[in-house]
Amino acid sequence: MTRADSPLNTGGTSDRGREKMGVEECGYPRVLIIAKSPISERDSTGASLGKWFGQWPKKQMAYLYSALTCEGPDFCPEMYRFGGGERRLGGLFERLRRSELASSAGRAAASPVQAAGRASERDSTLRTRMGRLLVESGLWEVMFSPRLSQALLSWVTSFRPEVIYAQIPDLTFLRIPVLLHRQLGIPVCMQVSDDWPGQMYRRSVARFAMRPLVTREFHELTRVASAHLGVSQTMEREYRRRYGVHFEPLMLCDSGERFRRAKPQRIVGDDVFSFVYCGNLGHDRWRALRDAARAVQELSVSGVKAHVSAFVSHLPVEAMSALDRMPALTFHPAPRDAEVPAVLKGADALLLLEGFSQESQAYARLSLSSKAHLYMMSERPTLVYGPAGLGVVEYAQGEQWGLVVDQDDGAALQNALRRFVLDAALRDRLVARGRAVAAANHEESVVREHLRRILAAAARTACRA
C-alpha cells in the first residue's frame, strides 16, 4: 500500500504538503515510538528513551509498548499496550504471561540474595521450567506471533505518525514496524542496542528453525527502514559488513549539569575506599563482581581498607551462593534515575564489569554499557573489568577514560584496584578524560539534536514519495 492510499493520508496532496511543512518548520515530526520496555526510571532502556526524547513535544509523540506496567503518562500521554489482542492465540498468551510474571515476582527486593533464594524455589516448578523453555527456544515468539488488530490500527491512524522509531530487542518487535510499514506506509527508523540478531536462539533446541527466521526477518526490516541506528562504532563496522547498510551510532546521553548539581551520597565511612558498581548482573557480570569483591577483600587483608557496594535490582539465581556472605561486598536496591548522580558521586571509584564467558562476550561484543556515560559524568574514576574486544572495553581504552583490566586474571585485577587506591594522580587523569569524553559524545542536548535530525530526515522520505 502506498502512502497516498494509506488511512494516514486521507486528505490527499494537500495533507502531504502540510505534513512536510510541519516536519521542516517545527523540526519534530510526529513519531511513533515502539519499544518493549516500560518507560520507567528503574528500567535502563526506558530511562534511555526518556533522555533521547526528553525535549520532544508531547503532542508529537506516541508510545507502543508491551510491558504489563508502564510509568510513562507524564513522559508520553498517548500510549498503547501491545497485548493479547495483537497476538495470535492472544487469550492464552495473556494467561501464560501473567502466570510467568507471578512466578518471578519479588526478585527486585531490598536484599537481592534473599530474593534470588525465593526465585530458586519457584524455578523448580514444572510450569516455570516449561515457560522458560518456550521463551528461550523462541517457540513462544512463533506461537504468539504479532498481528495488527483493528484497535491498534485505529489508534495509529488517529495519531497520524510521520515516522516510526523502533527499538528491536526480539523477534516480535522486529516484526511490528514491518507490519505497520506495509499496512500504512509509515517510514521506519530502527535501532539495535545489543547484537541479539547475531546471537539469539543460538543455543535453542529449535535453533535450526529459529536462526534462519531471525536472519530473514532482520534483513527484511533493514531493507524497509529509512534509517538504521546502533550504539557504537564497533557495531557500525560489523553491521555494515554483515548487513550491507550503515548503522549510525546513537550515543546514550544525560545532562552533565544534573551531575554537577548532585550532592554525593556516601555509602561507607570516610576511612574506607569506596568502590561502587551500579547496573544489572546478567550475562555473567555477577562473576566479574565476585572477582572484584574477592580482590578488594585481599586488599583489606593486606591493610588497605576498601569495600564494594553493588546497586542492583536482582541477582541471577545461579549467582546466589557465589555472592552470599562476602565480607567486602554489600548489596543495595537499584537507584531510581534521579538518584543515580548522588550514588555515583558518593564513591571513590566506580566498577564497570562485563562477563568473560564466550556467550556473554558474543552478546555484548558490539555494545556499550548503559552506565559508561553516567560514570564519566559523575567525575569519579572508573575501572573497567571485561574481556578484550568488547565495545565498551575498546571505548575505554581508545578514549582513555577508564583503567582497563581485559584479562580474566585475579592478580591483575587486584593490582589495578590497589593502584586505584594509592595513585591519586591516575584517578585525576581518568576523571579529566571522562569529563571531556562525556561532554563531546554524551551530552543530551547534542545527542537529542542528532536523533531529531535523523528522524526528521526519515519522515521527509515519505513526503517525497
pLDDT at 327 (0 to 100): 92
Q: Are 71 and 187 in a shared domain? A: yes
Could you give the number of structural domains in the chain?
3
pLDDT at 243 (0 to 100): 93
Q: How far apart are CA 307 and CA 271, in angstroms?
A: 11
**Looking at per-residue confidence, does 464 or 49 come out higher?**
49
Q: Are 188 and 99 in a shared domain? A: no
Cβ(188)–Cβ(458) under 8 Å? yes
Q: Are 289 and 357 in a shared domain? A: yes
Cβ(312)–Cβ(280) under 8 Å? yes
Q: Could you tell me the CATH number of the domain that includes residue 176?
A: 3.40.50.2000
Q: Are 356 and 388 in a shared domain? A: yes
Beta-carbon contacts of residue 332 (< 8 Å; ≥ 6 apart): 267, 309, 310, 311, 312
Q: Are 335 and 386 in a shared domain? A: yes
Q: How far apart are CA 396 and CA 414, in angstroms?
A: 19
Grid coordinates given for 128: 516455570
CA angle (373 as vertex; 55, 200 as ends), nearest 5: 95
Cβ(345)–Cβ(325) under 8 Å? no
pTM: 0.84
Indicate the pLDDT class of residue 125, thresholds 50, 70 and 90. low
Which ranges of 354-390 does DSSP label H, i.e. alpha helix?
358-364, 372-377
Q: Are 49 and 119 in a shared domain? A: no
pLDDT at 104 (0 to 100): 40
Average pLDDT of the residues in 426-444? 97
What's the DSSP call for residue 317?
G
The helix/strand/coil state of 325 is coil
Q: Are 243 and 279 in a shared domain? A: no
Q: What φ, ψ does residue 227 adopt, rounded to 5°?
A: -145, 145
Q: How far apart are CA 254 and CA 47, in angstroms?
A: 10
The answer on pLDDT for 203 being more than 90 is: no
Q: Are 356 and 416 in a shared domain? A: yes
Indicate the pLDDT class of residue 113, thresholds 50, 70 and 90. very low
Q: How far apart are CA 162 and CA 406, in angstroms?
A: 45
Q: Are 335 and 401 in a shared domain? A: yes
| Average per-residue pLDDT for the chain | 85
Q: Which amino acid appears at position 241 of this protein?
A: R
Average pLDDT of the residues in 103-119? 40
Domain that holds residue 136: 90-141
Cβ(188)–Cβ(164) under 8 Å? yes
| CA-to-CA separations, 392 to 126, 346, 399, 428, in angstroms, rounded | 38, 23, 10, 21
Q: Are 75 and 189 in a shared domain? A: yes
The answer on pLDDT for 13 being more than 50 is: no
Q: Are 377 and 458 in a shared domain? A: no
Q: Grid cell 512536510 — which residue?
A: 20
Grid coordinates given for 330: 554489600
Read off the pLDDT of residues 51-89 as tens digits, 9 standing for 90 and up. Answer: 999 999 999 999 999 887 777 677 888 999 999 999 998
Q: Are 192 and 336 in a shared domain? A: no
Q: Which amino acid appears at position 145 of this protein?
A: S
pLDDT at 286 (0 to 100): 94
The answer on pLDDT for 144 being more than 60 is: yes
Among the candidates 141, 173, 203, a domain finishes at: 141
Grid coordinates given for 87: 497476538
Among the candidates 100, 122, 141, a domain finishes at: 141
The helix/strand/coil state of 385 is strand
Find how far residue 434's CA is from the centre of its chain.
21
The dihedral through the CA atoms of 189, 191, 196, 197 has a sign that is positive
